[in-house]
């Protein structure tokens, strides 16, 4: 039996139709993967099912009956829950309050916090999640916030669960926990719609696969009827010759030197050299100190000890403005929270760090600004009807390109890419990789922070591995292997645990 039947679904934004009569079905007790490039219409279609967007045409049936879905509450009442790609927690509320928001247990007209925390502890224990229900969301890293969102959806006892990039910011251990949850949900007859750009996940969990391209259906296949190459080709409409188009270039002189950089509880005694023409990879488990180190290189935080030398001269970055002035750009992992101002236009987001280029006598030269942005949009292949549209109207991949365009406008010498392809389709990934290679080939330098092992090995000239806030090793391209990297990731964690054990014996 079909839990969900969507027929002829149409949706337009700002006069541009983005869904062109899409059809989709979900059966009970199955995982149906929804695939396509960013901008193909996947999230828009699912938001129509979840009541976030009101569709313009077509019919949705839930368990064979036509469904009027005008809001998320309508969808929830019909048993639909959605884990969205971009997290939107209430940061000042606790884990428990976020999970049961709007559904809190009540006693004598007031929230029964004792019961709330008890229910949350029971839920978290059942999902093998080790976190305190009383902890505020703002204190959690992105990976744990993602797991809270998953727990929230499961707590609703929905029989239709939409998972939009659920593993984009969680660890391998947490991914395994999620897959166990999915197996349990299938066994109870729950239908799961799974959106991901990670091919290994799709072929592991999906019973059926539907591909959208440019807002329309391409096809639907059962497990075993399509392989990876065929799936990628159906998504992008062409054959991708190389997943990682790394170009070998001559590595030049040092451009950035970091010596004994330390910030308590963030990173310790970090030293490395970055050369012109180089793509330098940073790999480490969540909490290893990768992003914290990048924050200091961009002036967001200041180290307590150590030196930063840029082109041989010692520099101090008291703010991101200082870093930008010295030719450093930072493509953050949190594009919506920290990389973009969502209500602002694509144009204004793109020129935000470089407005001085377009001002004269204190006045903004809008024509010059618009022409420069149009060139960036064309160069980076950003898909939009107009640069005057709000950047929130774009797909995730195109939003990431706007972040990149923003920094390209500053003409940096060094770009830090922190998880640059999180939640981005294979076609957009290949485009961003090419931009990295072209940029490095021009005598600039790239720092690539990535949790994706194939990405780090496919794009880096060298890889530096962090473990427990310290460097644990360096690998050159000829030495790359997943086994070597994993061993280095756990190196300091094991040594510190042994030290703790010895101190306990004493």
Tell me the C-alpha distance between 460 and 416, whole Å: 13
Using 50, 70 and 90 to split pLDDT, how confident is the model at 229? confident
Tell me the C-alpha distance between 423 and 298, whole Å: 24
Tokens for 20, please give them: 């062109």
pTM above 0.85, yes or no: no
Domain edges within the chain:
2-89+140-236, 254-327+412-500, 340-406
Question: Tell me, what's the pLDDT at 105?
Answer: 92
Could you tell me the end-to-end alpha-carbon distance of the chain, in angstroms, rounded to an integer? 64
- Segment of 135-139, 324-328, 340-344, 491-495 carrying the highest mean pLDDT: 324-328
Predicted confidence (pLDDT) per residue in 355-400, tens digit: 888 988 888 899 999 999 999 999 888 888 899 999 988 877 788 8
* pLDDT at residue 500 is higher than 60: no
Q: Which helix (H) or strand (E) holds 82?
A: strand 80-83
Predicted confidence (pLDDT) per residue in 76-99, tens digit: 899 999 887 666 788 899 999 999
Nearest residue to 274 via CA among 291, 303, 294: 294
* pLDDT at residue 479 is higher than 80: yes
Question: Tell me, what's the pLDDT at 86?
Answer: 67
Using 50, 70 and 90 to split pLDDT, how confident is the model at 492? low
CATH assignment of 254-327+412-500, among 3.70.10.10, 3.40.50.80, 3.40.50.300, 3.40.50.720: 3.40.50.300
DSSP assignment of 100-122, as one string? TTT---EETTEE-HHHHHHHHHH
CATH number of the structural domain 2-89+140-236:
3.40.50.300
Same fold, 2-89+140-236 and 254-327+412-500: yes
pLDDT (mean) for 310-331: 95
Predicted confidence (pLDDT) per residue in 420-438, tens digit: 887 777 777 888 898 999 9
pLDDT (mean) for 403-420: 93
State the chain's mean pLDDT as an integer. 88
* pLDDT at residue 251 is higher than 70: yes
The alpha carbon of 422 is separated from its chain's Cα centroid by a whole number of angstroms, namely 3
């Amino acid at each position: 039996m079909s839990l969900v039947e969507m027929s002829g679904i149409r949706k337009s934004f700002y006069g541009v139709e983005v869904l062109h009569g899409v059809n989709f079905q979900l059966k009970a007790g199955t995982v149906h993967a929804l695939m396509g490039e960013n901008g193909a219409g996947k999230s828009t279609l699912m938001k129509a099912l979840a009541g976030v967007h009101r569709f313009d045409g077509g019919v949705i049936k839930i368990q064979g009956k036509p469904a009027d879905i005008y809001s998320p509450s309508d969808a929830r009442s019909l048993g639909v829950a959605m884990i969205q790609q971009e997290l939107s927690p209430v940061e000042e509320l606790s884990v428990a309050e976020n999970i049961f928001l709007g559904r809190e247990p009540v006693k004598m007209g007031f929230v029964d916090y004792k019961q709330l925390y008890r229910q949350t502890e029971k839920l978290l224990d059942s999902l093998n999640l080790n976190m305190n229900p009383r902890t505020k969301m703002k204190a959690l890293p992105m990976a744990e916030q993602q797991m809270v969102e998953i727990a929230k959806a499961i707590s609703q006892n929905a029989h239709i669960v939409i998972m939009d990039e659920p593993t984009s910011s969680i660890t391998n251990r947490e991914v395994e926990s999620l897959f166990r949850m999915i197996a349990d949900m299938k066994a109870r007859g729950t239908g799961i719609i799974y959106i991901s750009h990670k091919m290994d996940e799709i072929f592991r969990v999906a019973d059926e696969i539907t591909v959208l391209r440019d807002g329309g259906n391409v096809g639907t296949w059962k497990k075993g009827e399509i392989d990876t190459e065929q799936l990628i080709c159906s998504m992008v409409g062409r054959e991708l010759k190389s997943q990682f188009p790394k170009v070998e270039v001559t590595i030049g002189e040092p451009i950035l030197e970091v010596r004994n950089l330390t910030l308590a509880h963030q990173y310790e005694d970090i030293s490395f050299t970055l050369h012109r023409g180089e793509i330098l990879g940073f790999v480490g488990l969540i909490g290893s100190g990768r992003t914290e180190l990048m924050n200091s290189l961009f002036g967001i935080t200041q180290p307590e000890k150590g030196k930063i030398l840029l082109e041989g001269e010692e520099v101090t970055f008291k703010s991101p403005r200082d870093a930008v002035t010295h030719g450093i750009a930072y493509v953050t992992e949190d594009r919506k929270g920290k990389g973009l101002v969502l209500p602002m236009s694509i144009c204004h987001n793109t020129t935000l760090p470089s407005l001085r280029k377009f001002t004269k006598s204190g006045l903004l030269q809008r024509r010059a600004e618009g022409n420069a942005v149009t060139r960036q949009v064309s160069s980076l292949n950003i898909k939009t009807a107009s640069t005057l549209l709000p950047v929130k109207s774009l797909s995730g991949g195109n939003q990431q390109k706007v972040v990149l365009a923003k920094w390209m406008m500053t003409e940096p010498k060094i770009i830090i890419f922190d998880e640059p392809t999180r939640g981005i389709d294979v076609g957009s990934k290949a485009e961003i990789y090419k931009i990295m290679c072209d940029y490095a080939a021009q005598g600039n330098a790239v720092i690539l922070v990535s949790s994706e092992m194939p990405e780090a090995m496919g794009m880096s000239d060298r890889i530096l591995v962090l473990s427990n806030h310290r460097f644990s090793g360096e690998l050159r391209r000829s030495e790359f292997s997943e086994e070597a990297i994993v061993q280095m990731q756990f190196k300091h964690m094991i040594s510190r645990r042994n030290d703790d054990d010895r101190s306990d014996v004493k």
